[in-house]
Amino acid sequence: MTFASRRPTIANAPRPWLTRLKGECAYPVGGEGMATRSCCNPCGAGAYCPAHAAAMRGPAIPSATDYEREIMRFLEQGR
């Protein structure tokens, strides 16, 4: 499955996950199963390069109360 995207890709030279070396980003960028390709950008001691580490964390949530308020606002707009 492929998705058209106007965003520039983060992965400079993705390779099969199984050929990834120590210090290369593990973030999956394509393929399936044994053919899954990882980002492989330098990531130092971490599992992911800085851009993919940020993607894994997701947006910051200031507090549970703010989060609940945003969810309720979203649900109420859907009616």
Q: Which residues on adjacent β-strands are paired with residue 8?
A: none
| 17 lines the binding site for Zn ion (CB under 5 A) | no
Segment contacting Zn ion by CB under 5 A, of 13-21, 34-42, 61-69, 71-79: 34-42
Nearer to Zn ion, 51 or 65 (CB): 51
Instruction: Indicate whether 25 belongs to the interface with Zn ion (CB under 5 A).
Output: yes
Closer residue to Zn ion (CB): 17 or 41:
41
**Do the beta carbons of residue 14 and residue 30 sit within 8 Å?**
yes
User: Which residues between 35 and 64 bind Zn ion (CB under 5 A)?
Assistant: 39, 41, 49, 52
Q: Where are the beta strands (DSSP E) in 19-71?
A: 28-30, 37-38
Cα distance from N-terminal residue to C-terminal residue, the chain: 32
Q: How far is the CB of 32 from Zn ion (least distance, A)?
A: 18
- Contact status, residue 38 vs residue 13, Cβ threshold 8 Å: no
